Structure 1
Amino acid sequence: MSLNERNRKKLEEHIFEQNVAHASTYLLETTRQGIRCEKTAIENYETPCLSRIGGDPDLPPQLEWPQTTDGTPMTFLLQLNLQELVKHDESSLLPARGMLYFFVGIDEPAYDIEHRVLFLQDDQLVSATRRHSPGETALEEQFAGYQLGARATLEPPNYAYVDYDQIETDSFSFEDYEDFRFLLTDMMDHDDVATLFGYPTGQHDDSEYEAALMLLTGKQYDYKMEKALHEITAHFAGDETKAKQEIQDTLMLVEIESDNEVGFCWWDAGVLQFFIRKEDLLAGRFDRTYCSLYSS
């Protein structure tokens, strides 16, 4: 996903101002256009269908609450009003209107977590109102609801994904790069709880391999990137170029942070991540996604 002209110019200005010119080509090629969301107010539920994290969702009465395979109600996490987000979607990936909902089952183990992503069109939202869960949900906890505000961001590679040989010099350290990254994402001035289309938080740069392998082949990842690539290549009848493109086009739909105010704590204050194939996202198909958890 190449940067649009305005963001490319913005990135070039930051690179010049922060003395990162030695890595300019690398950063221009690898920086992604993302969306970050932060809490703006405690939810009072007076206005339905706003973007919200935690609390209760706004659902039409005829829609069945998502359940796990054993019949337990899933836990509601997040709803995103796409009309609010689309003006910040500078990669033009999201549907222009409607609502996305994220539900989760038990968050163990940390891979292939049972979940559901729902997409409702505007005409399905006319009767949507606050809905309490039909019983104790999978996570057995109550979470506080907060309204969300969104902003467009530039997302350079993070700790797990950055090529250190490209950014480090005798006079420019990884710590300097982190300062540059925080400035570019404007994290210093915002307490973000969700990120769309950035780089997944993790220890290694293989989250897309894990998600693509499961989405395309139904196989679980064993932390061997070459083996995953081989299996995805076999899925495409030996076309390795197609396999690599599919991995590249496996996108982090949203990453949800641990947050004390909401009450989310993913293992040891980690993050919950949802992935989707670009092809499915552009087609507005959200019935085939992958959910995993990262915690240090």
Structure 2
Amino acid sequence: MSIKEKLESLGRNSIQLKIARKETYKLGATRFGGKPDVPPDFVWPTYEGESYDHVVKDRPLTFLAQFNCAELAQFDKEHLLPDHGLLSFFYETDTQCWGYDPKDQGCARVYWFEDMSALSAADFPADMEEDFKFPMVKIKMDSKYSYPSWEDFSEVFPDEEDDDAFDEAWEELTGEAPEDPEDRSQLLGWPDVIQNSMFDECDLVSQGYRLGNPENWNRIPKDIRQQAEETARDRWMLLFQLDTVEQGDFELMFGDCGHIYFYITKEDLAARRFDRIWLVLQCC
């Protein structure tokens, strides 16, 4: 097969997300920011971590976005997500953990509120700083076929070495250049990789192995690492990818023009075990 044919064979549906405009509140609607809609017994999640100014404390997670699953259904061509309820994403945006340390567990949370009848807007925690209360913004959604970045493609086809031919094939299939940094927020599909493929990273860190440098990678038993390299990309998948968000005077950026990625195993997604996601941050 040609590189284009190989790339085409890996295509997956994704739900493209575009930040549209300021939104007015509507209970249970898909949106970025604002106050999350939650059930009466909801306890706002917190995470104890070290911020960039080296302050260690327990902080409330930032509410990022919520998705009305009934609204998503028409764009979820492979029927992977729930078709009802509300899917809500949180991340601690002060510490901005990278996800290469098992201690990062809990820095991001996903909730599926299956019964929407008792939801109401939550009040922000009293100790939440104003910088982490994001404005409410409308999200426009559309289905879009996605293809792997070179970093993931070369893991599937390790004999392919011509990344220029890959870029050309990718542009033919998508109509845009692989390095185009615009509008890369999405649900499902292939991640827009900035640094390295993340499937085996999610697999290993979630097993308790600390990564982040070559020395830590080399400490992992060879059989464990080999198993992750051979099987992780078939078991793990992207759930949600969030790019830089800009709206008026507001800007949310992860590192230097980075993304955050919420990964989940296919088994956990099918079982609706959203408490078992793993988060990774990558940036330029």
Q: Could you say which TM-score interval applies, normalised by the shorter chain?
A: 0.7 to 0.9
State how 1:130-169 maps to structure 2 within 5 Å: 130-137=121-128, 140-163=131-154
Q: Name the aligned partner's letter for residue 110 of structure 1.
A: W
Query: Is 1:221–2:211 an aligned residue pair?
Result: yes
Q: Deviation digits for residues 79-102 of structure 1, max 9, x if unmatched?
A: 111111122112221122111111
Counterpart of 1:194 (choices 183, 186, 209) is 186
Q: How many pairs are equivalent?
A: 264
Match of 2:110 among 113, 117, 125: 117
Higher relative contact order (CA 8 A, sep 6+): 2
Flag the 1:159–1:132 CA change in 2: closer, same or farther, 3 A: farther
Q: Normalised by the size of structure 2, how large is the TM-score?
A: 0.78
Question: Residue 281 of structure 1: SS of its match in structure 2?
Answer: helix
Q: 1:256 aligns with which of 242, 258, 262?
A: 242
What SS does structure 2 have at the residue aligned with 1:37? strand
Tell me, in whole angstroms, the C-alpha distance in 2 between the residues paired with 1:142 and 1:290: 23
Aligned-pair CA distance for 1:168 = 5.1
Question: Deviation per CA, 1:196-254, whole angstroms, max 9, x where unpaired?
Answer: 3322422222x111111122x12123466xx68x759549xxxx678733442211111
Whether the aligned pair in 1 keeps the contact of 2:31 and 2:138 (CA below 8 Å) is yes
Aligned with residue 203 of structure 2, among 197, 204, 212: 212
What aligned pairs does 1:87-106 form with structure 2 within 5 A after superposition?
87-105=74-92, 106=94
AA aligned to 2:76 is D
Matches of 1:155 and 1:109 in 2, distance apart? 27
The amino acid that maps onto 1:116 is R
Asked if 1:37 corresponds to 2:17, the answer is yes
Q: Secondary structure at the match of 1:268?
A: coil
Percent identity (aligned): 23
* Distance (whole Å) between structure 2 residues aligned to residue 223 and residue 29 of structure 1: 33
Higher helix share: 1
* Letter in structure 1 aligned against 2:199: E
Asked if residue 55 in structure 1 is aligned to residue 45 in structure 2, the reply is no
Alpha-carbon distance change, 147 to 108 in structure 1, aligned in 2, over 3 angstroms = closer
- Rounded to whole Å, the distance in 2 between the matches of 1:247 and 1:22 is 22
Using the TM superposition, give the Cα deviation of residue 109 of structure 1 relative to its aligned residue in structure 2, in angstroms. Answer: 3.9
Q: What's the C-alpha RMSD, in Å, of the aligned pairs?
A: 3.5
Q: SS of the residue aligned with 1:49?
A: coil
**1:87–1:68 Cα change, 3 Å:** same
Listed as ranges, the gaps of 5+ residues in structure 2 are 49-56
Structure with greater strand share of residues: 2
**Contact 2:149–2:193 (Cα < 8 Å) also in 1:** yes
- Mapped to 1, the partners of 2:30 and 2:221 lie a distance apart of 38
- Aligned counterparts of 1:129 and 1:232: Cα–Cα separation in 2: 49
Paired AA for residue 135 in structure 1? A
Partner amino acid, structure 2, of 1:147 = K
* Structure 1 residue runs without a partner (length 5+): 1-20
Q: Identify if the C-alpha distance between structure 1 residues 175 and 139 changes in structure 2 by more than 3 Å, giving closer, same or farther.
A: farther
Report how far residue 22 of structure 1 moved: 3.7
How far residue 279 of structure 1 moved from its aligned partner, in angstroms, is: 0.4
Deviations 1:124-171 (Å, cap 9, x if unpaired)?
x212122231124379433221122221111112243344975959xx
Alpha-carbon separation, structure 2, partners of 1:139 and 1:200: 30
In the alignment, the residues of structure 1 paired with residue 84 and residue 254 of structure 2 have an alpha-carbon distance, to the nearest angstrom, of 30
Tell me what 2:53 maps to: none
C-alpha spacing 1:33/1:233, structure 2 compared with 1 (3 Å): farther
Q: CA deviation at 1:184?
A: 7.3
> Conserved in 2, the CA contact under 8 Å of 1:153 and 1:184?
no
Question: Could you tell me which residue of structure 2 aligns to residue 6 of structure 1?
Answer: none
